Chain A
Amino acid sequence: MKDSQSISIAFVGSGGAGALTAGNFLLEAACAAGWQGLLTRSVGPQIRGGEAAALVRLATHSIECMPEQFDVLIGIDWLNAQRFGAEIEVGPQSLVIGDPRGGALPPRVAAAGARVVSVPMKDMAKAIPDGRTNMIAFGIAGKLLGLSQDVCSALLAKRLGDKGQAAIEASQAGLQAGYDSLRDLEFNLRLAPPKQSATKRWLVSGNEMTALGAVRGGIRFAAAYPITPATEILEWLAPNLVKAGGALLQAEDELAAINMIIGASYGGTPSLTATSGPGLSLMIEALGLATAAEIPLVIIDVMRGGPSTGIPTKSEQADLNIAVYGCHGDAPHLVLAPQSVGDCLFTTQWAVHLAEALQTPAIVLSDQFIGQARAAIGRPADVAFVGQRRTASDIGSAAGAYRRYAIAGSGVSPMALPGTPGGQYTADGLTHNERGVPTSAASDHEAQLDKRQHKLERFAYGDHWATIEGDGDLAVVTWGSLTGVAREAIGRVNRDGVEASLLAPRLLFPAQPAGLAAALEGKKRVLVVEQSHGGQFHRYLRAHYDLPGVVKVLNRPGPLPIRASEIHRAIMQWRS
Chain B
Amino acid sequence: MSSVDERLACKPADYKSDIKPIWCPGCGDYHVLMSFTRAFAELGLPPERIVVVSGIGCSSRIPAYTNCYGFHGVHGRSLALGAGLKVTRPDLTVVVASGDGDGYSIGGNHFLHACRRNIDMTYVVMDNHIYGMTKGQPSPTTEPEFDTALSPGGTGLRPFHPLAVALASGANFVARCFSGEPNETASILVEAIRHPGFSFVEILSPCVTFRPDEREWKNLVHRAPVAATSDPARAARRIMTDDGFNLGILYRGDRKPYQPAVGHTSIDLSELEKDFEL
Contact = CB atoms under 8 A, between A and B. Distances in A.
Which are the 5 A-B pairs with shortest beta-carbon distances? A260-B84, A426-B70, A263-B84, A263-B85, A259-B80
Interface of B: 17-19, 46-49, 51-53, 63-64, 67-74, 76-89, 91-92, 109-110, 112-113, 260-267, 269, 271-273, 276-278
A263 B113 contact: no
A376 interface: yes
Most B CB contacts (10 A, CB to CB) among A212, A259, A268, A429 go to A259
Given A201-B277, A419-B49, A424-B67, A216 B269 contact: yes
Contact of B69 (A245, A251, A252, A426): A426
Interface in A411-433: 416, 418-430
A203 interface: yes
Given A245-B265, A264-B87, A438-B64, A252 B109 contact: yes
B110 A212 contact: no
Contacts of B18: 399-400
Interface string A251-268: 111011101111111111
A425 B66 CA distance: 9
- Chain A's interface size range is 35 or more
A575 interface: no
A418 B80 contact: no
12 contacts: A202-B273, A215-B269, A221-B84, A221-B87, A245-B262, A255-B76, A259-B84, A263-B83, A266-B81, A269-B88, A379-B273, A418-B85
B36 to A, nearest CB: 14
Contacts, number: 191
Interface string A212-250: 100110001101000000000000000010111111010
Nearest to B264: A245
B93 to A, nearest CB: 10
A200 interface: yes
B69 A418 contact: yes
Interface of A: 28, 31-32, 200-204, 208, 212, 215-216, 220-221, 223, 240, 242-247, 249, 251-253, 255-257, 259-269, 271, 285-286, 289, 293, 376, 379, 399-400, 416, 418-430, 436-438
Contacts of A260: 80-81, 83-84, 87
B247 to A, nearest CB: 30
A260 to B, nearest CB: 3
Nearest to A211: B272
B262 A208 contact: no
A263 B262 contact: no
Contacts of A242: 260-261, 265
Contacts of B87: 221, 247, 249, 260, 264
Contact of A263 (B49, B71, B261): B71
Contacts of A257: 80
B80 A427 contact: no
B84 A212 contact: no
B80 to A, nearest CB: 4
A204 B273 CA distance: 10
Contacts of A289: 73-74
B64 A428 contact: yes
A425 B63 CA distance: 9
A268 B89 contact: yes
A419 B48 contact: yes
Contacts of A437: 19, 64
Contact of B263 (A245, A252, A266, A419): A245
Contact of B73 (A220, A243, A261, A262): A262
A247 to B, nearest CB: 4
Nearest to B109: A252
Given A244-B269, A263-B53, A418-B49, A425 B69 contact: yes
A31 B278 contact: yes
A427 B70 contact: yes
A264 B269 contact: no
Contacts of B81: 259-260, 262-263, 266
A294 B19 CA distance: 22
Contact of B80 (A256, A267, A379, A422): A256
A229 B85 CA distance: 27
Contacts of A266: 71, 81, 85
Contact of B276 (A203, A244, A256, A427): A203
Given A216-B269, A419-B49, A267 B85 contact: yes
Contacts of A246: 88, 262
Contact of A255 (B77, B263, B273, B278): B77
Contacts of B49: 418-419
Contacts of B260: 242, 247
Contacts of A240: 272
B278 A264 contact: no
A419 B70 contact: no
Contact of A245 (B64, B74, B78, B266): B266
A200 B278 CA distance: 8
Given A32-B278, A245-B263, A419-B92, A271 B84 contact: yes
B124 to A, nearest CB: 16
B71 A427 contact: yes
B68 A424 contact: yes
A274 to B, nearest CB: 15
A220 B265 CA distance: 11
